[in-house]
Chain A
Amino acid sequence: MNKNGEIAIEAREMDVYYAHFRAVKGINIKFPTRKITALIGPSGCGKSTVLRSFNRMNDLVLVARVQGEVLYRGNNIYGKDVDPVEIRRRIGMVFQKPNPFAKSIYENVAWGARINGYKGNMDELVESSLRQAALWDEVKDKLSQSGYSLSGGQQQRLCIARTIAVKPEIILMDEPTSALDPVATLRIEELIQELKQNYTIIIVTHNMQQAARASDYTAFFNMDEDRAGYLVEYNATNMLFTNPQNEMTEQYITGRFG
Chain B
Amino acid sequence: MTRHVLERELRQLQDEILRLGSEVEENLGVAVEALRRRDMVRARQLIQADEWINQRRIQIGMRGLSLIATQQPFASDMRQIAAMIEIAGELERIHDYVKGIAKINLQIDEVYYLEPLIALYPQMAVKTQEMLRGALDAFVNRDAVLARQIPAADDVVDDLYKSAYRVIVRYAAQTPTAVEMANQIEWAGHNLERSADRVINICEWIIYMVTGVFAELDSEYETPPLTM
The answer to A–B direct touch (Cβ < 8 A) is yes
Q: Is the CB of B212 within 8 A of A254?
A: no
A199-258 interface with B by 8 A CB criterion: 208-209, 212, 241-244, 249-250, 253-256
Contacts of A209 in B (CB 8 A): 72
- A255 partner residues in chain B, CB cutoff 8 A: 1-3, 6
Q: Is B77 in contact with A254, judged by CB distance below 8 angstroms?
A: yes
- How many chain B residues sit at the interface, stated as a range, is 10 to 19
- With A209-B72, A255-B6 already in contact, the answer to whether A242 and B77 are too (CB < 8 A) is no
Contacting pair A256 B3 (CB below 8 A): yes
Chain B residues with CB below 8 A from A256, complex form: 3
Instruction: Kindly provide the distance from the CB of A214 to the nearest chain B CB, expressed in whole angstroms.
Output: 14
The number of chain A residues with a CB under 8 A from chain B is 13
Question: How many angstroms between the C-alpha atoms of A241 and B1 in the bound complex?
Answer: 16
Complex alpha-carbon distance, A243 and B82, angstroms: 13
**B1-25 CB contacts (< 8 Å) to partner A:** 1-3, 6
Q: Are B74 and A254 in contact (CB under 8 A)?
A: yes
Report the bound CA distance from A249 to B75 in whole Å: 9
Q: Which residue of B lies closest to A208 (CB)?
A: B74
B78 part of interface (Cβ distance < 8 Å): yes
- Taking a contact as CB atoms under 8 Å apart, the answer to whether A243 and B79 are in contact is yes
Determine if B213 is an interface residue (Cβ-Cβ < 8 Å). yes
Residue of A with least CB distance to B77: A254
- Residue of B with least CB distance to A250: B75
Is B73's beta carbon under 8 Å from chain A?
yes
Residues of B within 8 A of A244 (CB): 75, 212
Mark contacts of B185-228 with chain A using CB atoms, 8 A cut-off: 1 yes-contact digit, 0 otherwise: 00000000000000000000000000111000000000000000
How many whole Å from A210's CB to the nearest CB in chain B? 11
Question: Do B72 and A241 have beta carbons less than 8 Å apart?
Answer: no
Q: Per-residue 0/1 for A135-153: is the Cβ within 8 Å of any B Cβ (1 yes, 0 no)?
A: 0000000000000000000
| Shortest beta-carbon distance from A94 to chain B in Å | 25
Inter-chain contacts of A253 with B (CB < 8 A): 74-75
- Residues of chain B touching chain A, judged by Cβ–Cβ distance below 8 Å, are 1-3, 6, 72-79, 211-213
List A residues at the B interface (Cβ < 8 Å): 208-209, 212, 241-244, 249-250, 253-256
8 smallest CB-CB distances across A and B, nearest first, come from A243-B212, A255-B1, A253-B74, A254-B77, A250-B75, A241-B74, A255-B3, A253-B75
Jot down 6 A-B pairs with beta carbons below 8 A, ordered by A.
A244-B212, A254-B3, A254-B73, A254-B75, A255-B1, A256-B3
**Could you list 8 further interchain pairs (A-B, Cβ under 8 angstroms) beyond the known A242-B75, A243-B212, A250-B75?**
A212-B74, A242-B74, A243-B79, A249-B75, A254-B74, A254-B75, A255-B1, A255-B2
